[in-house]
Amino acid sequence: MSWDVIYENLGRYADGAGLTLMLTALALGISFFLSIGLALARNATQPLARGAVFIYTLVFRGTPLLIQLFLIYYGLAQFDLLRQSFLWPWLSSPLICVLIAFVLNTTAYTTEIFAGGLRHLPPGEIEAARAYGMSWWTQVRRILLPAMLTRSLSLYGNEAIMMLHATSLASTVTLMEITGVARNITLNYYIQFEPYVTAALIYLVLTSVLVCGFQLAEKRWGAYLQPRRS
């Protein structure tokens, strides 16, 4: 066993964990706001808006994230128009490509989760809001959004964990997050066991922290939905 190699490289694992957390936080943060808008559109009365959002979520939930990532990172180079445009310096950077792929992917899942939460809202709550003379925007702000977010909290927690795990795919396009660091160490030191086990342990710890965080959040904001203890 060569655990001393791992000990020497602990700093690189820490950097990797930092990148993993940054990718997770950025992807989840951006997609959170996009999903709120799309979830409202998914339940809108216009069939065109509903249909368009449905097709988007269907396509991005129906294909592997790895393909979406490769389409963006390798695929876009096929178009000369893009290569010559001012966007190219950004679109050829792995970090930006990974973020675009992650945001598009997790937004599709989160939109469906939020839209589902919205659909389970009792109609009486909206009728009551209308009876109080609330404008559409006030209804969204005071009734729809809080109800939607608290109702989808546990499913959203799962999605956040999925996103944390999905960041491991960033290693396939040269990014040095936790999995990338582990792969790099296996190649440099010719050891196959310790680097991946260490990576798995770090992911386990990060996952547990996320799970605990979401359980606390559910206790804090979702308590009113729990069956009352008699």
Is there binding between residue 64 and another protein (CB under 8 A)? Answer: yes
Cα dihedral: 12, 15, 21, 22 (round 10): -140
The yes or no reply on residue 7 touching another protein (CB under 8 A) is no
Question: Which residues within the stretch 67-86 sit at the binding site for another protein (CB under 8 A)?
Answer: 67-68, 70-71, 74-79
Place of tokens 């546990």: 154
Size of the site for another protein (CB under 8 A): 43
Residue 226 per-residue DSSP state: S
Applying CB under 8 A, among 140, 207, 218, 222 the residue interacting with another protein is 207
* Closer Cβ to another protein, 129 or 185, answer by number: 185
Distance (Å, rounded) from C-alpha 22 to C-alpha 170? 12
Count the helix, strand and coil residues of the chain and give each as a percent rounded to the nearest 5: 85, 0, 15
Q: How far is the CB of 37 from another protein (least distance, A)?
A: 24
Location of structure tokens 């977010």: 149
List the one residue from 10, 14, 44, 66 that touches another protein (CB under 8 A).
66
50 binds another protein (CB under 8 A): no
Burial (0-12, 13-18, 19+ Cβ within 10 Å), 124: exposed
Q: Which residues bind another protein (CB under 8 A)?
A: 1, 58-59, 61-68, 70-71, 74-79, 161, 164-169, 171-172, 179, 182-183, 186, 191-193, 196-197, 199-200, 203-204, 207-208
